[in-house]
């Protein structure tokens, strides 16, 4: 069901772009203590995990799996903030880096993308086998939220998580790709596309990708162009439209059977609001909270100027705690 969010932006930070940018600025010096782990995937690639602590059998603590956004990592402000919040709760947090987003380059031409669920399935099953009695939850930010939605929809009753939260996810990829190519949002697009191009060029230089030249990569300017020329071909999609259609979580969210909180802001400069909330009916397992303000992974509250309160973390932990 759709619900009006309780989030109220700080009176001194109501603009969507300020919410989006300030969230990163306020936490530019935030640190989180982690334990690193590198796993070899079933297809002989690597993924990197960042734990707040390693689970042990004689102390049963809940484990929260966190999926980052496009080109995100342990250095992303929202990842550090959520890991610290999970740790303060007395729980265990683990950030799953998508392939190539950690310290090491991945070995395969195939890239992570909005519909790539293989790695979260691998990690989830590993946690289930190693830490059977630990309650398990998952949080997905932005692209990671769409991946989580697809994973939960595919697993249905077999999902190992007790509950989940999906935050600012591009659940309708085609219109979100168009949205980020308009107005001031083009600034975010350039930032993300430039990082994607850097990763793509590394794969070309290592001989992993040969369907496109370095010159063609350098000429790409929009997210849709990148998905058309790079993401779709190396991930067995016909084209960008095929990728957007098959990878969009919106078309599958009603297949999710575990309790799931979806958080979305109407003014998110990355997302096409009218399409994100276009499902007329939602599964009883889904609580879809929509706020008027919040930006993209911002949601900064606070009554005193420059004394931010990070509402997302409090709301997420409050929700997940209800299913402990």
Question: Are residues 213 and 118 located together in one domain of the fold?
Answer: no
Q: How many CB atoms lie within 10 A of CB 204?
A: 18
Question: Are residues 63 and 202 located together in one domain of the fold?
Answer: no
CA atoms of 244 and 173, how far apart (whole Å): 5
Domain that holds residue 137: 2-172+252-321
Question: Are residues 162 and 40 located together in one domain of the fold?
Answer: yes
Say what the pLDDT of residue 133 is.
94
Question: Are residues 136 and 51 located together in one domain of the fold?
Answer: yes
Say what the pLDDT of residue 215 is.
97
CATH number at residue 79: 3.40.50.1820
314 catalytic residue (yes or no): no
Question: Are residues 12 and 44 located together in one domain of the fold?
Answer: yes
97 catalytic residue (yes or no): no
- Say how many domains are in the chain: 2
Give residue-wise pLDDT tens across range 192-205: 999 999 999 999 99
Q: How many CB atoms lie within 10 A of CB 38?
A: 12
Give residue-wise pLDDT tens across range 175-228: 999 999 999 999 999 999 999 999 999 999 999 999 999 999 999 999 999 999
142 catalytic residue (yes or no): yes
Question: Are residues 167 and 184 located together in one domain of the fold?
Answer: no
Question: Are residues 192 and 289 located together in one domain of the fold?
Answer: no
Question: Are residues 189 and 75 located together in one domain of the fold?
Answer: no
Of 191, 226, 247, which one is at a domain's C-terminal end? 247
Q: 74 and 121 in contact (C-beta within 8 Å)? A: no
CA 82 to chain centre: 12
- Residue ranges of the chain whose pLDDT lies below 50: none
Mean pLDDT, all residues of the chain? 97
Q: Where are the alpha helices (DSSP H) in the chain?
A: 16-26, 77-88, 118-130, 143-155, 173-179, 185-205, 214-218, 223-226, 232-234, 240-247, 273-276, 311-321
Say what the pLDDT of residue 190 is.
98
Question: Are residues 108 and 224 located together in one domain of the fold?
Answer: no
Question: Are residues 126 and 205 located together in one domain of the fold?
Answer: no
Say what the pLDDT of residue 283 is.
93
Say what the pLDDT of residue 75 is.
97
CA 178 to chain centre: 19
Say what the pLDDT of residue 232 is.
97
Question: Are residues 207 and 67 located together in one domain of the fold?
Answer: no
Of 223, 247, 271, which one is at a domain's C-terminal end? 247
Of 247, 275, 309, which one is at a domain's C-terminal end? 247
- Which residue in the block uniquely carries the two structure tokens 């683990």? 94
- Active-site residue (options: 73, 76, 142, 291): 142
- Active-site residue (options: 68, 113, 275, 296): 296
Question: Are residues 81 and 136 located together in one domain of the fold?
Answer: yes
- Active-site residue (options: 119, 227, 267, 268): 268
């Amino acid at each position: 069901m759709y619900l009006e969010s309780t989030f109220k932006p700080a009176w001194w930070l109501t603009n969507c772009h300020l919410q989006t940018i300030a969230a990163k600025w306020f936490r530019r010096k935030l640190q989180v203590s982690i334990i690193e782990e590198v796993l070899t995937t079933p297809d002989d690639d690597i993924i990197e995990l960042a734990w707040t602590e390693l689970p042990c059998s004689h102390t049963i603590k809940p484990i929260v799996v966190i999926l980052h956004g496009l080109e995100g990592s342990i250095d992303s402000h929202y990842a550090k903030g959520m890991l610290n919040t999970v740790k303060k709760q007395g729980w265990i947090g683990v950030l799953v880096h998508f392939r190539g987003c950690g310290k090491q380059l991945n070995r395969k031409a195939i890239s992570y993308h909005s519909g790539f669920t293989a790695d979260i399935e691998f990690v989830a099953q590993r946690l289930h086998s190693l830490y059977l009695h630990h309650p398990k939850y998952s949080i997905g930010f932005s692209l990671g939220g769409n991946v989580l939605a697809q994973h939960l929809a595919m697993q249905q009753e077999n999902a190992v998580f007790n509950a989940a939260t999906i935050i600012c996810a591009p659940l309708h990829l085609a219109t979100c790709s168009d949205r980020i190519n308009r107005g001031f949002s083009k600034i975010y697009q350039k930032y993300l596309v430039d990082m994607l191009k850097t990763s793509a060029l590394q794969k070309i230089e290592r001989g992993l990708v040969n369907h496109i030249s370095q010159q063609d990569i350098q000429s790409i300017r929009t997210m849709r162009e990148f998905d058309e020329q790079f993401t779709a071909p190396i991930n067995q999609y016909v084209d960008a439209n095929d990728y957007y259609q098959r990878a969009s979580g919106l078309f599958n969210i009603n297949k999710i059977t575990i309790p799931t909180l979806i958080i979305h802001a109407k003014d998110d400069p990355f997302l096409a609001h009218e399409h994100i909330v276009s499902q007329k009916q939602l599964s009883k397992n889904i609580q879809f909270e929509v706020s008027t303000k919040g930006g993209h992974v911002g949601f900064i509250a606070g009554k005193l100027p420059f004394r931010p309160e990070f509402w997302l973390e409090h709301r997420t932990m409050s929700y997940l705690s209800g299913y402990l």
